[in-house]
Structure 1
Amino acid sequence: MVPRPAPAGFRRARVGRGSVRLAAVGSGRSSIPLERAPARDAQLRDPALGAAGPRVLGPPLRVFDAERVRILTFTSLYPSSVRPRHGVFIQERISQLARHTGHTVQVVAPVPYFPPLRWTHRWELTQVPRLERLSGLEVHHPRYFMTPKVGMFSYGWLMYRGTRRLVTELHRRAPFDLIDAHYVFPDGYAALRIGKDLGLPVVLSARGTDIHTYPRLRSIRGILRRCLTQADRLIAVSAALKRQMCELGAAADRVDVIPNGVDALKFHPWCRTAARERLGVPSGPVLLSAGNLTRNKGFDILIRAMQELRRSFPGISLVILGEGPARGELEALIQRLELQGVAMLRGAQDQATLPLWYSAADLFCLASAQEGCPNVILESISCGTPVVASRAGGIPEIVDSGSVGILAERTTPDFIRAISLGLGRVWDRASIAETASARGWDRVSEALVRTFDAALQSRNEARRGRDAAGGGRRR
């Protein structure tokens, strides 16, 4: 392959079949003005924002004056036309990366193979197309064989076997420069095997569940350690997650903490009264929670807290957004405690509606047992809504001062205490929204570029070392 010419002023680092050096060296702000979001409904605007529309938090977009790089994003947790909300936070990150840097991103999102039987609960997976275009990115959905809940230690190998042919062919047509994999296992294992086959550096992003859960399984713990030590670079979404990764064997100097970002053009304050009218939310105090309906999220803690809170705060209601396996248990708990109409499960919501929900709430509450860097808290803060949350994972790194929320122990009595304090306090919602400026996607993208650059450089240095050692032996 004829190497692509390096732009003037940049060094080139040879890596695998291609040769490239990433660099985030923009010499200033973009000269292209950033358009504001179009007005949707004048009555929904928060008056504090003025007539011009939502604030654009953070500095304008940076221009990365570097050669375009081809990145393969490899993850099984990614949306499809069949499951549009599955892994939407990863889609957001790489879409924003492509937008802010101009680099080419191609996605391989493996899907477990299931026979096309309509009576199975996995029927929808058989309808995921093999190839589609989502948010401007080409997304491939190869199938791989797996046995649910059996032989979990083999999931990484099976994913590798089911995807390597496709990735090899894509690389042959237009060589990649780097693999960006999400979830250390099984996705990271498969990505590392493919990276070894193709001579590509691999950056693994840990998201939380992979580091919180898999180390408890003896059959997977050793595999997880190898993945953490073999990756060219690692990304943790919180400092707490980085500490756990290092305890499992990752070298601290190869782990970069890059929290999730938030798009202030999507998530910004709206007029609370108008938002409630649009959503049909009661006029009393409103608590909001959201996420995958699992036991780990602690929605039962919030529901039980409503028994006491409704006596202290007449007209209070709890709205829970999301779907998941624990929905039946939560519905039964609401009925058993006779909280119908007080605690409500409103199902999954699309991205366009979420800002209205955040703006309609007095407090956003999250009682999770484990978290990485929860997007729902970032989105709530960006909409100006204060947070009451547990101290799980990276949450204290977001709710790091009393100006944006209150931290609580993961018990019903302590959440009652914290929620009562939150409802009795006058919050500066404009200042809360302003704190999201430090977590804009332009800054996240710049940090990602630095990490990818470090991975490419370390691979290049290792290659030079091997070449030098080989030359010495020949002499």
Structure 2
Amino acid sequence: MTPVSSHSSMRTVQVLGGGNTAGGAHVRSLAAGLVARGVRVTVCAPVEADRTYDFTGAGAEHVHVPRSSDPGAVAALRAACTGADLVHAHGLHASFRTALALSGRRTPLVVTWHDRAYAEGPRAHFLRVLERRAARAATVVLGTTSVLVDRARRTGARDARLAAVSLPGPRTSPVPDDPDRLRPKVRAELGATGRPLLIAVGSLERHRGYDVLLDAAHAWRRLDPLPLVVLAGEGPLRGELRRRIEDEELPVRLVGRREDVADLLAAADIALLPSRWEARSPLAQEALHARVPLVATRVGGIPELVGDAAELVPYGNARALADAVVRLLDDPERREQLAQRGARQAATWPTEDETVAQVLSVYDELTRPAPLI
């Protein structure tokens, strides 16, 4: 653990909306690192987020603030931020609420954009308005990808920078199962014994591209042995996807939200990421760490994140997605090459320690007393 430093006089408030998995894991990791360096940390988030990420277990104080932007929630957030040296909001909605709560105060506001918010129709315009207001209210906007940094600048951010964001490791260290025994066990549970296993993980929402994935699955039905596609996640499209899988007799299983994604990936032959947009996708990072070949769409921050360690295809092109998978299944040497490249690429990503150090340097810059003239 890093020894307590002069930062023991600093108090920060981390604000989380509670809906983004990557954001919640990042705030937990950041809180733990800041506390280890002597910073006093308060995390404002829904109570269910503290149950999931255990901010108090990281040494932070947790204050329940609901996701809504009603006056009561904003007032609770404003009270929690009283006396803070700096406030750091994560995600669009949390950033907007925090900007409202800090209105009229000179407290520095750091905003991290982990991803983009999605909507269609009138709500899409509403989200663009929130983006502009949050970006312009922030002292510094940190984007997890260059694409998000550019978006923040176009939206009106005074200062937008690329953020170092690590993939947090597990909070506990149980004795792992023997991978040689675990892999066949997981594959048998999923029904993938003696056949290729393709894994996709993420919320069952429109922007994830699962409709395209089901289109691609038609091409895989002619393969022998027949690959099995497993989708791990929950969301509003579950019913629609289930009906398509049944009506079209597709080799796809919906397994719901899973806590053993690492085990699923370890058992997989290929990981799939067919999204319309991704920033620093946790699935992409976990797949490369696990040396599992990845087929992903060439969108958002994915090319920057994976480099040459994945097969990239255009979004919405089911034929390109299907063909990339077929080529990999037929080419074990290419799969091994991607596995090795993935491990090398993962080694270039920032560690949790480096992420905390970068964020703390921003905090120091924004809270440093002005020089006397």
Give the TM-score of the pair, scaled to structure 1: 0.67
Determine if the alignment matches structure 1 residue 183 to structure 2 residue 91: yes
By relative contact order (CA 8 Å, sep 6+), the higher-ranking structure is: 1
Given the alignment of the two structures, is residue 318 of structure 1 paired with residue 229 of structure 2, yes or no? yes
* Match of residue 244 from structure 1: 151
Of structures 1 and 2, the larger Rg is shown by 1
**How far 1:338 moved relative to its partner?**
0.7
Alignment CA distance shift 1:365-1:220 (3 Å):
closer
Query: Do 2:307 and 2:345's aligned partners in 1 also have CA atoms closer than 8 Å?
Result: no
Please say if 1:327 is aligned against 2:327: no
The 8 Å contact of residues 388 and 422 in structure 1, kept in 2 or not, is answered as no
SS class of match (2:312): strand
Q: 1:420 aligns with which of 326, 330, 334?
A: 326
Deviations 1:20-40 (CA, angstroms, capped at 9, x unpaired)? xxxxxxxxxxxx6xxxxxxxx
Deviation at 1:347, TM superposition (A): 0.6
Pair 1:433 & 2:338 matched: no
Identity, in percent, stands at 22
How far apart are 1:223 and its partner, in Å?
4.6
Tell me if structure 1 keeps the 8 A contact 2:270–2:293.
yes
Q: Quick check: 1:406 aligned with 2:311?
A: yes
SS of the residue corresponding to residue 314 of structure 1 reads coil
1:359-398 equivalent positions in 2, closer than 5 A? 359-398=266-305
* 2-structure distance, mates of 1:454, 1:215: 39
Residue 226 of structure 2 aligns to a residue whose secondary structure is coil
- Give the deviation of 1:417 after TM superposition: 1.6
Alpha carbons of structure 1 residues 213 and 206: separation in structure 2 relative to 1, 3 Å: farther
More displaced stretch, 215-224 vs 389-398: 215-224
Q: Distance in 1 between the 2:98 and 2:16 partners? A: 9
Residues 167-225 of structure 1: CA distance to partner in whole angstroms, max 9, x if unpaired? 454455xx3221110123x3212212323444311101113223887997445534532
Counterpart pick for 1:347 among 248, 256, 260: 256
Deviation at 1:364, TM superposition (A): 0.7
Alignment match of 2:361 (pick from 426, 443, 450)? 450
Structure 1 runs not aligned, ≥5 long: 1-31, 33-61, 78-85, 112-124, 147-154, 469-475
- Distance in 2, Cα, partners of 1:142 & 1:272: 44
Instruction: State whether residues 285 and 313 of structure 1, in contact with CA within 8 Å, keep that contact through their aligned partners in structure 2.
Output: no
Count of residues in correspondence between the two structures = 354
The equivalent of 1:38 in structure 2 is none
Could you say what the CA RMSD is over the residues aligned between the two structures, in angstroms?
3.2
Contact kept, 8 Å, 1:256 with 1:451, in 2: the verdict is no
Q: 1:163 to 1:214 in 2, by over 3 A?
A: farther
Please give the alpha-carbon distance, in whole angstroms, between the structure 2 residues aligned to 1:134 and 1:326.
34
> Which residue pairs with 1:74 in the alignment?
15
Aligned twin of 1:202? 109
Q: TM-score, normalised by structure 2?
A: 0.83
Alignment of 1:95-114 (within 5 A): 95-101=28-34, 102=36, 103-110=39-46
1:289-308 to structure 2, matched below 5 A, reads 289-308=200-219
- Is 1:94 the counterpart of 2:27 in the alignment? yes
Report the CA distance shift for 1:265/1:223 in structure 2 as closer, same or farther (over 3 A).
closer
Q: Tell me which amino acid in the other structure corresponds to 2:14.
A: T
